[in-house]
């Protein structure tokens, strides 16, 4: 696929190598179809001929995973909810 006929890539993917399977992954990512990216990326990583395509597919796959900091904030929120619930129960006389 020539560069002029394919859809424009997101800014992070501009330097990715030319590969049809990788282009499909990037297009699915750009559409927000992260399920397809998670499903097809391992196959692209396993079957790609070049290390650059494997690395690019792994990068696209990594971009679909939640930010580790969001997990920390979720845990802190759960702890705060637990503390406030216990405090309310203790003060209200259970």
Q: What is the chain's pLDDT, residue by residue, as a tens digit (94 residues)?
A: 444 446 788 999 999 999 999 999 999 999 999 999 999 999 999 999 899 999 999 999 999 998 999 999 999 999 999 999 999 999 887 5
Tell me the pTM.
0.71
- How far is the C-alpha of 70 from the C-alpha of 61, rounded, in Å? 18
Domains of the chain: total: 2
Same-domain status, 73 and 52: no
Tokens of 76: 């802190």
The pair of structure tokens assigned to 74 is: 């979720």
| Residues 19, 38 within the same domain | yes
Which residues lie closer than 8 Å to 34 by C-beta, 6 or more apart?
Answer: 28, 64
pLDDT for position 25 = 95
Q: Are residues 7 and 43 in the same domain?
A: yes
Cα distance between residue 9 and residue 23, in whole Å = 8
pLDDT at res. 9: 86
29 to 13, 61, 71, 80: CA distances (angstroms):
10, 9, 22, 35
């Amino acid at each position: 696929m020539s560069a002029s006929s394919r859809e424009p890539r997101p800014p992070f993917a501009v330097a990715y190598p030319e590969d049809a399977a990788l282009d499909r992954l990037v297009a699915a990512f750009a559409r927000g179809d992260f399920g397809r990216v998670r499903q097809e990326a391992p196959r692209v990583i396993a079957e790609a001929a070049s290390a650059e395509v494997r690395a690019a597919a792994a990068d696209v796959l990594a971009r679909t995973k939640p930010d580790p900091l969001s997990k920390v904030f979720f845990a802190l929120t759960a702890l705060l909810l637990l503390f406030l619930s216990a405090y309310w129960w203790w003060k209200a006389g259970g």
